[in-house]
Structure 1
Amino acid sequence: MKFSKLTLALMTAGLAHGMAYAADSTESDIGAIKVEGKATQGGGYMVPEDSAKSRSTVTKEALDKQTATGNAVDKLKYTPGLNISSEDATGLSGFRFTMRGMNSDQVGMSVDGMPINDSGNYALYSNLLGDPENIEQIFVTQGASEADGPHIGSSGGNIGLVTLRPTKETGAFVKQSIGSNATRKTFARLNTGEINGLSNWLSVSHEEGDKWRGDGTVRANKVEWNSFFDAGEGNTANLILKYHKQENNSYSQLTKSQYTQFGRRYDPYPSVAARNGSGKITSYYGLAQNPFETFTAVFNTHFKLADNVSMDVIPYYYYGNGGGGGSSTSALNSGSSASGVYDLSNLASAATYNADGTPNSGVYYRLSRTQTWRPGITTKLNWDLGEHSLQLGYWFEDARQRQTQPFIGIDTAGKPDSIWPDSHRVSDANGQIVQGRNRFTETPAQKIWAQDTWYINSDWTLNAGLSFMNVERKGHNHGSLTEAPVDRNQTYNKFLPNAGLKYQVDDRNQVFYSVSRNMRIPQNYALYDNSPESIGLKPETSWNHELGWRFVEPDMTLSASLFYMQFKNRQVSSKDINGDAADINAGAVDNYGLELEWSGLLPHDFNYYTSYTYTRSKQKDDLQVFNKGAAITLPTADKQFANVPEHMLAANIGYDNGRYYGTFGGKLTSKLYGDLTNDESIPGRVVFNLGTGVYLPVDKRVFKSATLRLNVDNLFDKKYLDGVYTTKTNSATYSGFRDGDPAYIVGVERTVTVALEANF
């Protein structure tokens, strides 16, 4: 296992720091902690909630009993409102999801208060989710926005990850996992224990495996550090650092016709380099790379200024570097520059390259590289006035993102000279690095808000708030092979109110209503697309309404929510001619439906959990598109929005007697449309999962606990397409125009994972 210099530096500094505190510790409690399982309500998939909005929480108990290698989003598969599609079971590859009809790039996601959606197109990536072993819980607010949410791309709702806090006791946790397709993961976490109010842990992991579809591998190294300091009298500070580096081969996506004709294991990325009539390499799986590294730091501080006044200050920083690309080569020769930006006289002509008989001359590996620098800070002042609890807050972020496409040489077999775009890059006659894309976007964003929680009496609580968001997009196109240099700026701002009312009917029953307005800023690609529709793309806005009821008993919890979301200028993510992300304005869309959650205890150490979601995502307008300058109206009004299942039903039965545990669950998902005109759909499916484990008897003088776990995902090996990867406006022909075939994520085959873990 290999780590970069930055990784080793973090490990060394963290270990030295942790050992220094551990050496001074006089506390020792080896063998005093007894860790064992027990049957809990819903097996950790549901906890009683108390907010005036829909909210679901998945605890560490449920996270640990799912597949050891799955990432945080994978582990939300039974949560109401969510339909998740993942490319494999390692947790390292791509995923998409919808929530109440919103795409994953329309839902804000944060880790310990730090936003992790891409600052340009709001996509979510597994490399930013961290090791699931270090997650304490995941919470989901399905519709109503958070007043203090640090998001510019959220149409509503939020998913939040909470990192495990360091323990006061010194100890270690280790876990070894192996599974299908040569998947293996090694994880270790060291707790230094608490010294003078400071406690820390350091974790490292290495994971790798073969792709289950096509050739190639996925692998990643992670290092995470967590320091928590309790200064007393309510003053705390929590520093969380995370580093991730991956070198993955990318998965392909299939059209419905490809899947039907060739089956789920078909991969259009060839295992042996394909060549054209001139013998040039045109396509090879080794070119479909996804190298990426990220470093994040978030510092949560809480200060008690007075008995009834406190302040939270949360600075954070995100750095990302890497990208991805398809399996095709990109041609580059003396005549390739169509913009006049480069002098390519140092290269031969296309005819010369085609005639030289060498398979790799004139064709290159071209990665779509993204580098992001993203500092930000959230400040909140909390004032308790008895019947009223006030919060005033300010969030500022200055995201900067460079997006380039350098050309890198390949050898005669098609292998890139380097998968990282920092070397072996082609330059023109003037020494400039030749780029297929060369853009730099600055996105200063700020949000100010005031929120009041009024405890009217012991039964009634009213929340009301108002925020103002201002976002500027500064786009600098430095010029590329096809684009001349140009700068474009856009500014977006809006007032966003929210309110929620909760009534405690009695000890067991609670009802609530909430309403909030949200705004999603267009992707940064809108600044670089030359079409007037993209440049003038309006921000997506939504009104989110929820009416809910909760019923709580010691052995049972039940919740029900009706939701209604009104969208204006609904944006749907697609791809442009260059393969870059692009937004389509789908006009007005109404999402409405019902969510149910039910969990509880059964006799003899059994527990149960079930959820149901009905979602109608109704397009209100026909969509106008342009084909060769001619306007065409597509019949999208009253059609279901793409990639939104109308029905989802999940259920899980669990057993845990303190020595053995087991879970058996499944999820039904109805059909999905791949386009906005509903001309193509994929059928629904039911997928079952199994988990079991044993809490091993251990020598308490050495171990605190040990557990052996077995998981089988897609137990009956269901063959299916899992979700839409690339949405099309229309897959049928209207007035001579057809947008093409939607691409889909392929449902993962049956996967077996075994994990052995121990606490020392």
Structure 2
Amino acid sequence: MAAAYIFPRLSAITLPIMLLVPAVAAANEDNDPTTIQVLGHPDPEALLPDQTAPKAVSAISTDFIIKQAPTLNAFQLVNLLPGANVSSSDPYGLSASSGITLRGLGQDQIGVLMEGAPQNDIGYYYAYPAQFADAENVRQISLAQGAADIDAPVVAAAGGTLSLSLDDPKTEAGGLVNLSLGSYDERRIFARIDTGTIGTSGLKAFVSYSNNRADNWRGAGYDQRQHIDAKLLGEWGEGNRASIALSFNDAKTSTYPGPTRADWQAYGRDYNFSESYSEGDTSYWRLYRAPFRNLYVAAPLHLRLNDRLDIDNTAYLQFGHGNSPYGTQLSTTGNYLGTEELTQPIALPGAVDGVATVLGNWTGKQFRAGDVVKLTYRAGIHQISAGLWFDYGTDRVTQSYTSVGPDGRPVDQWGYQDKAIQTADGRLLAYENQRTETVTKGFFLADSIAVTPKLGVDIGFKGVSLLRNGRNYLPGPQTTVHVDSFAALPRAAVHYQLDDRQQLFANITTNFRTPNEFALYNSYYGGELVAQGTNALKNEYSLSQELGYRYIGPSLSFSLTAFHYHFRNRQVATVVNNGGALVNSTINAGSQTSYGLDGEIDYRPAKGFSIYVSGEYLHARLDDDLSVGGDYLPTRGKHAVAAPTFQFGIGTTYDDGRLFGSTALKYVGRQYATFMNDESIKGYATLDLSVGVHLAGVIDAQRTDLRLNAINLTNPHVLSGVQAISSNAQDVTGRNGTVISGAAPTYYVGSGRAVVATLSRAF
């Protein structure tokens, strides 16, 4: 949808909203001056909940989430919020082939928390929304587009934080069952049981299970996901609270191939993996089906020791194991292990003329554990917080090979080493074989000062050190890697309450990001060193500022935030083809400056009805030429990649107690895919729709809902985002006269239309 079509409609909606502000005030003036009367309607969907933090924060809550398709993941659910640019490859949010940017900052720049515990991968900083808690168990998803809280256990969070808060267990025993059927043979069941308060213990808990299966919306294949969420909660005294929450995910999902521009023009949505297998075919869909199992545990604790002193502690734990496989071919001879030539042939089942199609494995085993403890002391106008953060993680990465049967089915889709192809002397044949240990330590000190009843000033300092030690198990010149860095992160904020309705805030925040672990290791091909690992890469460091205004009214609320960023050693996420496997990596883009405006409005003209509008203007430019080989690309002044200048969303919700529904329109402007800005994707719009009926009182008194969700209703055939950026798509002459060859970026294909019906029954 063109911007020229959208903007008049945006003005048509926002202008009457702005005119209604004095109308509401006038209505109050007409009443008896001795009577205080509250007019208006509270936010029925919690699309713009009240905020007092001295930074930009947006959120969605239960009343909005339960009207959306229950298959949607957390990234898809926040798509309407300011600055959120979500690239979804499938309508149901099951595939790992998706991305999100905030204010033009990528997925590896966004800290993700669940119940205060980090969900990001410590090695590559990515978080995978298909693994998060089921939507039925999420109470709120908040999006802080700029500054992470000082006690948040995250690194690489210049793009802000996405925080999931799980629903508390119910006080009364009960349960919930959701049954869903939809397009592409979508079938999902969700069941939750609440214990209610257990005897006189004061404890209460819930546990839920979901099973989801859907065919790929394009190409052959299907996705499966089983998921368990649970939470145990105890509350006592005045404000004391302890809980433990876990989320277990077991999934086998398909990878959607990302086309280049030429592929898209030639094949469109038909650019897919092979539906059937033939000898020598490395693009058969079963070779690209990824199994993963993950467990996330969070245990937040809040104790009020006395009127002046509180203690907060959040312990957390992660386990993960999975494979991102791909199809490739091996020969029985001419192989290398690192830089070592294998003189003896390897055994390849099914080889023809010494060549066999095999499953290339990119397996990862992750472990992460940590703890954040914070003391808060109140004395007069001061609220002083101090705390410590410790985090330990290991990442075992192996790129091995597994035999494929005559029907194209892998002997083992998980990539286990005992079933993988071995060298003649019994060693694992691997293109990559390494283990990385990461230790993060942090401390923070902050003071929130109530200068006057209306004016508050926050100051703080956070210090974070990150240590990586690794082992490269491949024969060659590199055996161990080591990098140790420290970042000093001061911050300050001001909040001023103009009156009961209006707030002003401003903040200045610093962030840092160390290069991901992939950059530390050598890469070998054909016995030769093709990429040398280094510990000399500089940390990204950013300085950001926000200046904002909020109005919280009885029928109208809105916020407007101006922001500015300056980056040194800006690290941009991309995907590299590492021997056939798509591996997350980063490019140092030098300095970058970004500034812009975020805004959101929530208008509630009648009970049960709301109109929500959000928008962003973003100016993001590169300040340096990009170093490529021994030359420099003339990139100074170019647009930053995957950073649309304009985007906005329009949502409506309705619920009269019997009928309910919602609409969600999102427009995202042009996005550049290269640092040279010589390739881009056009702006596009998507539209989601839901309609439903509350059946409580028709069948019995229990809550029973029937709803129909249409995802991407208009079904535009578009590229929805940049999957793998490149420095330049066309050949370019560098500053020093060298011809720098172009490389084609790849893209996410916007998902097709899907319709899903859900029957929800509480008991």
Instruction: Please give the TM-score of this superposition, normalised by the length of structure 2.
Output: 0.89
Partner SS state of residue 146, structure 1: coil
Residue 613 (structure 1) aligned with residue 607 (structure 2):
no
Larger mean CA deviation between 230-239 and 362-371 belongs to 230-239
2:173 aligned partner: 170
Q: Give runs of aligned pairs for residues 119-518 of structure 1, distance below 5 A.
A: 119-195=122-198, 196-267=201-272, 269-275=273-279, 280-326=280-326, 328-339=327-338, 345=344, 347=346, 353-355=351-353, 362-422=356-416, 423-479=418-474, 485-518=478-511
The one-letter code of the counterpart of 1:197 is: G
Residues 91 and 752 of structure 2 are in contact (CA less than 8 Å); yes or no, is this contact kept in structure 1? no
Partner SS state of residue 276, structure 2: coil
Query: How far, CA to CA, are the matches of 1:604 and 1:376 in structure 2?
Result: 45
Q: Give runs of aligned pairs for residues 532-571 of structure 1, distance below 5 A.
A: 535-571=535-571
Please give the per-residue CA displacement for 1:586-645, whole angstroms capped at 9, x wherever unaligned: 00001100011100211364211000100111100111201xxxx232121111111111
1:726 aligned partner: 724
User: Cα 1:171–1:648, aligned 2, differ >3 Å: closer, same or farther?
Assistant: same
Please give the per-residue CA displacement for 1:88-116, whole angstroms capped at 9, x wherever unaligned: 12221122011011101111111111111
Please give the per-residue CA displacement for 1:230-283, whole angstroms capped at 9, x wherever unaligned: 23343221011111101122111111221122122321x2122355xxxx3433
User: Cα 1:274–1:658, aligned 2, differ >3 Å: closer, same or farther?
Assistant: same
How far apart are residue 485 of structure 1 and its match? 4.6
Partner SS state of residue 561, structure 2: strand
How far apart are residue 475 of structure 1 and its match? 2.0
Query: How far, CA to CA, are the matches of 2:458 and 2:370 in structure 1?
Result: 27
Residues 200 and 226 of structure 1 are in contact (CA less than 8 Å); yes or no, is this contact kept in structure 2? yes
Residues 338 and 431 of structure 2 are in contact (CA less than 8 Å); yes or no, is this contact kept in structure 1? no
Partner SS state of residue 66, structure 2: helix
Residues 660 and 692 of structure 2 are in contact (CA less than 8 Å); yes or no, is this contact kept in structure 1? yes
Larger mean CA deviation between 364-373 and 333-342 belongs to 333-342
Residues 293 and 322 of structure 1 are in contact (CA less than 8 Å); yes or no, is this contact kept in structure 2? yes
User: Cα 1:332–1:163, aligned 2, differ >3 Å: closer, same or farther?
Assistant: farther
Query: How far, CA to CA, are the matches of 1:488 and 1:39 in structure 2?
Result: 60
Residue 640 (structure 1) aligned with residue 639 (structure 2):
yes
The one-letter code of the counterpart of 1:676 is: F
1:709 aligned partner: 707
1:25 aligned partner: none
Which one of the candidate residues 499, 502, 519 is aligned to 2:512?
519
Please give the per-residue CA displacement for 1:317-339, whole angstroms capped at 9, x wherever unaligned: 1000002133x223152431153
Query: How far, CA to CA, are the matches of 1:178 and 1:372 in structure 2?
Result: 34
1:10 aligned partner: none
Query: How far, CA to CA, are the matches of 2:403 and 2:493 in structure 1?
Result: 58
User: Cα 1:349–1:424, aligned 2, differ >3 Å: closer, same or farther?
Assistant: closer
Query: How far, CA to CA, are the matches of 1:740 and 1:99 in structure 2?
Result: 26
Query: How far, CA to CA, are the matches of 1:119 and 1:671 in structure 2?
Result: 31
Residues 513 and 546 of structure 1 are in contact (CA less than 8 Å); yes or no, is this contact kept in structure 2? yes
How far apart are residue 443 of structure 1 and its match? 0.6
Larger mean CA deviation between 484-493 and 244-253 belongs to 484-493
2:59 aligned partner: 57
Instruction: Please give the TM-score of this superposition, normalised by the length of structure 1.
Output: 0.90
C-alpha RMSD of matched pairs (Å):
2.0
Which one of the candidate residues 589, 599, 604 is aligned to 2:602?
599
Larger mean CA deviation between 178-187 and 418-427 belongs to 418-427
Residues 515 and 546 of structure 1 are in contact (CA less than 8 Å); yes or no, is this contact kept in structure 2? yes
User: Cα 1:604–1:240, aligned 2, differ >3 Å: closer, same or farther?
Assistant: closer
Partner SS state of residue 74, structure 2: coil
Residues 671 and 683 of structure 2 are in contact (CA less than 8 Å); yes or no, is this contact kept in structure 1? yes
Partner SS state of residue 263, structure 1: helix
Query: How far, CA to CA, are the matches of 1:76 and 1:128 in structure 2?
Result: 16
Residues 42 and 609 of structure 1 are in contact (CA less than 8 Å); yes or no, is this contact kept in structure 2? no
What are the ranges of 5 or more consecutive residues in structure 1 without an aligned counterpart?
A: 1-37
Query: How far, CA to CA, are the matches of 2:47 and 2:112 in structure 1?
Result: 19
User: Cα 1:533–1:484, aligned 2, differ >3 Å: closer, same or farther?
Assistant: closer
Query: How far, CA to CA, are the matches of 2:184 and 2:576 in structure 1?
Result: 34
Query: How far, CA to CA, are the matches of 1:586 and 1:299 in structure 2?
Result: 38
User: Cα 1:601–1:233, aligned 2, differ >3 Å: closer, same or farther?
Assistant: closer
The one-letter code of the counterpart of 1:250 is: T
Which one of the candidate residues 40, 43, 61 is aligned to 1:41?
43
How far apart are residue 386 of structure 1 and its match? 3.1
Query: How far, CA to CA, are the matches of 2:641 and 2:432 in structure 1?
Result: 29
Query: How far, CA to CA, are the matches of 1:617 and 1:655 in structure 2?
Result: 37
Q: Give runs of aligned pairs for residues 16-31 of structure 1, distance below 5 A.
A: none
The one-letter code of the counterpart of 1:405 is: Q
Query: How far, CA to CA, are the matches of 1:342 and 1:119 in structure 2?
Result: 34
User: Cα 1:228–1:729, aligned 2, differ >3 Å: closer, same or farther?
Assistant: same
Please give the per-residue CA displacement for 1:320-367, whole angstroms capped at 9, x wherever unaligned: 0002133x22315243115355857362599x94426xxxx6331111
The one-letter code of the counterpart of 1:719 is: H
Query: How far, CA to CA, are the matches of 1:719 and 1:734 in structure 2?
Result: 31
Query: How far, CA to CA, are the matches of 1:609 and 1:488 in structure 2?
Result: 50
Please give the per-residue CA displacement for 1:355-390, whole angstroms capped at 9, x wherever unaligned: 26xxxx633111100100101111111112131111
The one-letter code of the counterpart of 1:85 is: S
Residues 372 and 388 of structure 2 are in contact (CA less than 8 Å); yes or no, is this contact kept in structure 1? yes
1:18 aligned partner: none
Please give the per-residue CA displacement for 1:646-703, whole angstroms capped at 9, x wherever unaligned: 0011111222111111212211111111111100011111222211111113478x65
Residues 39 and 656 of structure 1 are in contact (CA less than 8 Å); yes or no, is this contact kept in structure 2? no
The one-letter code of the counterpart of 1:672 is: Q
Partner SS state of residue 236, structure 2: strand
The one-letter code of the counterpart of 2:193 is: L
How far apart are residue 484 of structure 1 and its match? 5.2
User: Cα 1:344–1:712, aligned 2, differ >3 Å: closer, same or farther?
Assistant: farther
User: Cα 1:703–1:317, aligned 2, differ >3 Å: closer, same or farther?
Assistant: farther
The one-letter code of the counterpart of 2:402 is: I
Residues 103 and 159 of structure 2 are in contact (CA less than 8 Å); yes or no, is this contact kept in structure 1? no
Q: Give runs of aligned pairs for residues 63-78 of structure 1, distance below 5 A.
A: 63-78=65-80
User: Cα 1:534–1:682, aligned 2, differ >3 Å: closer, same or farther?
Assistant: farther
Query: How far, CA to CA, are the matches of 2:391 and 2:331 in structure 1?
Result: 38
Number of residue pairs matched? 705
Residues 334 and 347 of structure 1 are in contact (CA less than 8 Å); yes or no, is this contact kept in structure 2? yes
Query: How far, CA to CA, are the matches of 1:312 and 1:495 in structure 2?
Result: 23
User: Cα 1:513–1:161, aligned 2, differ >3 Å: closer, same or farther?
Assistant: same
Residues 337 and 429 of structure 2 are in contact (CA less than 8 Å); yes or no, is this contact kept in structure 1? no
Query: How far, CA to CA, are the matches of 1:562 and 1:150 in structure 2?
Result: 26
Please give the per-residue CA displacement for 1:95-140, whole angstroms capped at 9, x wherever unaligned: 2011011101111111111111111111121243121111000011
